[in-house]
Chain A
Amino acid sequence: MASDVCKHCTHAACLDVCPTGALIRTEDGTVIVQDDVCNGCGYCVPACPYGLIEKRQDDGQAFKCTMCYDRTTAGLMPACATACPTESIQYGPLGELRERAASRVTQLQAGGEAGAQLYGDRPDDGVGGTGAFFLLLDKPEVYGLPPDPVVTTRDLPKMWGYAAGAAAAVLACVLGSFTEGRR
């Protein structure tokens, strides 16, 4: 069992591709959707490497986990971390959580859980590390998580380059079609 929590990527594809500026990064480093700005274009949905963000059925606007922005700004913990009876979901400063998780992994591995690993804790991964990370006991894909996610916009400068090349080819072909004598 795993919560379908937004990973709050350091390099967030949903935020990058959003054409309206509805997706923003908060002062806490999390990523949220502004309901009054989102126009329901749905671009964030296929952009998310975790398949997390989704469109609401009724108004078609995007929605996802906000890491309970409303609660945390009021000094509370996110609802999931508050409700979890075993404290499997923990909330706090990222550095502190990473230290705690690293020692727990070492402990588990020493206890014979060879597959114990952290997921999303490394700032040098394809999304620049995530604000919500996991301690897994098996490969990420077994939990339905992508094993090596990369923010799609990392390749965007190259894509614009290819598109510019193709646009130039289109222009050249059309103009070239006029060079032979009139028929």
Chain B
Amino acid sequence: MSPDTQSVAPYGFESYYGRPVLKEPAWKTPDVPLYLFLGGLSGASSVLAAAADLTGRPGLARASRVTAAAGVLSSLGALVHDLGRPARFLNMLRVVKPTSPMSMGSWTIATFGPLAVGAAASELTGVLTAAGRAAGIGAAALGPAMATYTAVLLADTAIPAWHDAHAELPFVFGGSAMAAAAGAALAAAPLTESGPATRMALAGASMEIASTQIMTRRLGLSGEPYSPGRAGKLMLTAKTLTAAGAAGAVLGRRSRAFSAAAGACLVAGSAALRFAVFDAGVQSARDPRYTVIPQRERAARRAAGTSGE
């Protein structure tokens, strides 16, 4: 490293020998992307299950209840694996802290989890069915929060590709969670009852793809890490699988095999999206340009008096 590398002139900004300003997220892969994906799948499945139950679609309700319970348990498992040992999750419940999305999310999981698992257990065993249905409705009340809070979790950091995306990211994750839950239901529920899942797949996929498009266009420089390299490939994979899954859900709705394949595409697309967003965040922390240039521009705008900041 010689002093002449200090000024990275071709990029129009300076840095300390190109070293990152920020630390990369210390979260493990695949633990944390899976935690994000499974939480979304579980949350949206709980809403689908309750609506199916209340409208007299027992097969769809059963499949979605099981997905919701399996999803939240695996999500918690992924989080605990990232933390290192189970007892560490209990530290999350020491305080209730609205300034920490991780705290709010932990309380959401701690409330949602037992309700979702209780509803599924009652469904599978046939005991306490009234309590099971009530638990399912309770879980559904928290389901939309489960599907979206993880977007705030990522956005509430100094990572430019996440923080600057805070307006769209909850819609991206919410749409993706719906697509995943609908996909799981299409694969597991009886075809005679899967009409709502087909429509939900379309709604979720549209919301995910449209919000992602708006997000990456609006972001400018901070959105750059979403296109090249591994993150870019994963973004494209997610979009392709989600679009194909949604199309397949409609076109193949009379075929068991077709519906199952479309459902699998939707679930895989949703998972790929979380890995893509996670990866883009890591990339944007590694390159100091994503930290320095927008901050320089903000400071210049403030100096010129054109910003309300």
Contact = CB atoms under 8 A, between A and B. Distances in A.
Interface in A46-61: 46-55, 59-60
B19 A144 contact: yes
A174 B149 contact: no
Given A148-B295, A170-B174, A16 B16 contact: no
A153 B26 contact: no
B89 A178 contact: no
Chain B contact surface mostly = helix
Contacts of A159: 101, 152, 155-156, 166, 170
B252 interface: no
B92 interface: yes
A147 B158 contact: no
B58 to A, nearest CB: 13
Contacts of A180: 195, 199
Interface in B274-309: 281, 285, 288, 291-292, 295-296, 298-299, 302
Interface stretch (B47-55, B128-136, B240-248): B47-55
Interface in A141-169: 141-149, 152-153, 155-156, 158-160, 162-163, 165-169
Contact of A141 (B89, B101, B151, B288): B288
Interface string A63-75: 0000000000000
Interface stretch (B200-208, B219-227, B256-264): B200-208
Given A53-B23, A148-B298, A167-B145, A142 B15 contact: yes
Given A141-B21, A159-B152, A169 B171 contact: yes
B151 A46 contact: no
B88 interface: yes
Contacts of B175: 170
Interface string B71-99: 00000000000111000110110110101
B84 A40 contact: yes
Interface of A: 13, 16-22, 37-43, 45-55, 59-60, 139, 141-149, 152-153, 155-156, 158-160, 162-163, 165-171, 173-178, 180, 182-183
Interface of B: 6-7, 13-16, 19-27, 44, 47-48, 51-52, 55, 57, 82-84, 88-89, 91-92, 94-95, 97, 99-103, 106, 143-145, 147-149, 151-153, 155-159, 162-163, 166-171, 173-175, 177-178, 192, 194-197, 199-200, 203-204, 207, 281, 285, 288, 291-292, 295-296, 298-299, 302
21 contacts: A16-B100, A18-B100, A19-B103, A21-B95, A43-B153, A47-B156, A52-B23, A141-B288, A152-B163, A153-B99, A155-B155, A158-B167, A162-B166, A162-B170, A165-B171, A167-B145, A170-B148, A174-B178, A177-B196, A177-B199, A182-B55
Given A21-B94, A166-B151, 8 more contacts: A46-B22, A60-B83, A152-B163, A163-B149, A170-B148, A177-B199, A177-B203, A178-B51
